[in-house]
Amino acid sequence: MEIKVYNDWDHVNKAYHKGDKQVVLAWDGEYRKGDIIEFGGLKKGCFYKIKVDAAIEESLILTQEENIIYTVPFYEKKTSYNPLAFFGNRHYISVREAYDHEVKAYKNLALNPFDQHDVIGVYPHASANVETRGEAVFAARNAIDGCIATRSHGEWPYESWGINRQDDACFMLDFGRPVDIDKIDIYTRADFPHDNYWIRGKLEFSDGSIEQLEFTKHVDEPHVFKMKKSGIRWLKFYDLIKSEEQSPFPALTQIEVYGREHA
C-alpha cells in the first residue's frame, strides 16, 4: 500500500510513504488548491480503516477500487469540514487493513466521514437527486459524516442534506455489500423557526420492502426506528411530507444505520 500527496497540475509528489498492511504518512507543508491524496495498492472487496486528516474521524470503508483519489477541498467545498482539516503545515494521513473484529462488530453501518460527492466504488456512499443549490454544506455526504449538530444550518458542524424545496427529493445510501440492520436513527435538522420538519417519509430497501416513517418535532434527539432487515445492499429515504409550519426548509442532519455484516 502507499499514500501519495501531489498536485493535479504537475503530479510532483509533495509527500509519499508505503507499507505492507499499514501506512502512516506524516508530512510538513501546506495544501494548495488542486492537491490530491492518493491511496494506492489496495485490494478490491477489502475493508480498510482510513484517516485522511487529523481533524477528520477515521472511517471503516469497503473499496472496490485499487486506488482511491481524494481531492483536498478548498473554498466553498471545504465549508462542510472542520476548519482545522487540511490546515496548517503539518499533516497526518493513515490507512491500514481493517481488523476482523472491526468488520464483524455491531456498528453504525452508514458512518463514513471519508465519503466524497463524486467518487463511486468506496462504501458506504451517500447520494441524492437534489442538493440545495449544489452547495457543499447541503450535500448528501453530510448525512453520514458523524456530525449530529441539529440546531443551525450551513457551515460545519451544521452541514446537512438540503432538498432545495423539492417535493420528490430522494436520498440514497449504498453499503456496497449486503448488511443486516436492526435499527435506524434519523436526525432531522432543527434550526427553528428557519426550518420545517417532516411528519412522514418512507424507507425503501434493496429487498423491495418499504417502511412507513412518522416524525415529530425533535431537536437534539434522533427519531429511532427499529426494524429487522437482512442482506440489504442499499436504502432510499423519500416521499418526504413536511409539516404545515410556514418554513419551506426541512433537512436531514444525519442517518445512522445499526447492524452487522450479512452472515
Report d(CA 93, CA 102) in Å as an integer: 20
Give the chain's mean pLDDT.
97
Convert 138-177 to b/e letters by CB count within 10 Å (16 or more is b). bbbbbbbbbbebbeebeebbbbbbbbeeeeebbbbbebbb
What are the phi and psi torsion angles at 39 (to 5°)? -105, 115
C-alpha cell at 157: 458542524
**Could you report the per-residue pLDDT of 43-72, keeping only the tens digit for each?**
999 999 999 999 999 999 999 999 999 999
For the chain, the domains span: 2-104, 107-261
Specify the 3-state DSSP secondary structure of 121.
coil
The DSSP letter of residue 209 is -
User: Is residue 87 predicted with pLDDT exceeding 90?
Assistant: yes
Judge contact between 178 and 231, C-beta under 8 A.
yes
User: What does the DSSP assignment read for 53-87?
Assistant: -TTS--EEEEES-S-EEEEPP-GGGGTTS-TTTT-
Report d(CA 10, CA 239) in Å as an integer: 46
The H or E element spanning position 44 is: none
User: What does the DSSP assignment read for 86-108?
Assistant: T-SSEEEEEEEEPPHHHHHS-EE
What topology does CATH give the domain 107-261? Answer: Jelly Rolls (2.60.120)
Report d(CA 62, CA 1) in Å as an integer: 15
Report d(CA 116, CA 73) in Å as an integer: 10
Report d(CA 2, CA 100) in Å as an integer: 21
**Could you report the per-residue pLDDT of 105-161, keeping only the tens digit for each?**
999 999 999 999 999 999 999 999 999 999 999 999 999 999 999 999 999 999 999
Average pLDDT over residues 17-28: 97
User: Is residue 228 predicted with pLDDT exceeding 90?
Assistant: yes
- pLDDT given for residue 9 in this prediction: 87
The H or E element spanning position 227 is: strand 223-242
Q: Looking at the whole model, is its pTM more than 0.85?
A: yes
Report d(CA 219, CA 148) in Å as an integer: 10
CA distances from 8 to 38, 118, 185 (A): 11, 16, 39
User: Is residue 263 predicted with pLDDT exceeding 90?
Assistant: no
In the chain, pLDDT over 90 holds for what percent of residues? 96
